[in-house]
Amino acid sequence: MIDVLTFGEAMVSLRTDRPIRAGDALRMSVAGAEANVAIGLARLGHRVRWTGLTGTDGFGDLILRTLRAEGVDISHAARVGEPTGLVVFEARTADLTRVSYHRSGSAGSRIGPAQVAAAWDRRVRVVHATGITAALGPGPLGAVRTAVESASAAGATVSLDVNYRAKLWSREAAAAVLRPLVPSVDILIASDDELPLAAPAAAVSEAEQVEALLERGVREVVVKRGADGAEVFDTSGSTARPAVPVTVRDTVGAGDAFVAGYLSGLLDGAPAGSRLERAVTTGAFAVASVGDWEGLPAREELDLLRAAPGSAIR
């Protein structure tokens, strides 16, 4: 049995600590929202399948080797002739990172319904999709629709992270695509400024947006509030948890870490408050570490952040 099926574009990330024009060494790793979630869940002991397309180049080798090493099932990933996409993280100042993507015509952006259909298993408990994949073009959007429809028909839980990226599409285009998906979504995850992209246009306030989403069939609306923690809404009310205080080193990937923690709690049958606590904890591990996923915790490490700052665990 597979606990979670997720899919999308995985890329190779290149990071520099100085402006690119100054010249510097680049650190190479793997990036991609769904891949980050998959790794986070695998480290927490869940059985996760990721599917997508990579190039037949060395970058594709790195992605598949990394996911395999992290315990993610990649048995339905495929290789194609297009190049693997790249994302560059440029540390412009100590508090500002500039991100640029090199994904036009990339292998990952060619994913379509066929890849998701091949990876689908009726025993999957949760299918997780993101707005990033839906934004990549007709093929990736078809993959999202296929996954959501298959999961909904089979009674699996559908998780959707809005994950809006302004460089990929406008807010109007995102809303036009995401709103029709909502009736098939069980867990909707969004930051407070992303809620309007999934809720009906007539809903103006956050309370109205949450109410409208619940009325359309969403079981849980999870709102990420960054440094202010997070809150989950359902038909019985709401539950909130504060963020875990840590020294912030890198905010990239924090939302994906949060999702991994929340879905992990869901798979364990934990109540809403415990799910949120695990989510803000995994998010804290992410922002306290450099990289999209490298600092994510194993299950036995979830309590580490309770130690006093500066502690040495001996």
The confidence score (pLDDT) of residue 244 equals 95
Tell me the backbone φ, ψ of residue 278, rounded to 5 degrees: -65, -35
Average pLDDT over residues 27-51: 97
What is the pLDDT of the chain when averaged over all its residues? 95
Element (H, E) at 71: none
The confidence score (pLDDT) of residue 120 equals 94
pLDDT at 310 over 80: no
Helix spans in the chain (H): 33-43, 58-69, 113-119, 131-135, 138-154, 171-178, 195-198, 206-215, 254-267, 272-287
Q: Which of 70, 73, 67, 69 is nearest to 47 (CA)?
A: 73
Task: Give the pLDDT band (50/70/90) at residue 172.
Answer: very high
Given 3, 250, 256, 292, the catalytic residue: 256
The confidence score (pLDDT) of residue 40 equals 98
The confidence score (pLDDT) of residue 300 equals 96
Torsion angle in degrees (nearest 10) through CA of 58, 72, 31, 148 = 120
Determine the Cα–Cα distance for residues 78 and 185; give it in Å rounded to an integer. 27
Q: What is the pLDDT of residues 93-125, one digit of tens each?
A: 877 888 999 988 999 999 999 999 999 999 999
Give the number of other CB atoms < 10 A from CB of residue 270.
15
Q: What is the pLDDT of residues 235-294, one digit of tens each?
A: 999 999 999 999 988 888 999 999 999 999 999 999 999 999 999 999 999 999 988 999
Between β-strands 126-130 and 157-161, what pairing exists: parallel, antiparallel or unpaired?
Answer: parallel
Q: What is the pLDDT of residues 120-167, one digit of tens each?
A: 999 999 999 999 999 999 999 999 999 999 999 999 999 999 999 999
Task: Domain ranges for the chain, please list them.
Answer: 32-82+111-295
62, with CB counted inside 10 A (0-12, 13-18, 19+), is: middle
Element (H, E) at 307: none
The confidence score (pLDDT) of residue 252 equals 87
* DSSP conformation letters of 221-255: EEEE-GGG-EEEEETTEEEEEPPPP---S--TTHH
Task: Give the pLDDT band (50/70/90) at residue 308.
Answer: confident
CATH of domain 32-82+111-295: 3.40.1190.20
Determine the Cα–Cα distance for residues 263 and 269; give it in Å rounded to an integer. 10
Average pLDDT over residues 293-306: 94
The confidence score (pLDDT) of residue 30 equals 97
256 annotated active-site: yes
**pTM assigned to the model:** 0.95
The confidence score (pLDDT) of residue 84 equals 97
Average pLDDT over residues 41-66: 98
pLDDT at 22 over 90: no
Q: What is the pLDDT of residues 204-223, one digit of tens each?
A: 999 999 999 999 999 999 99
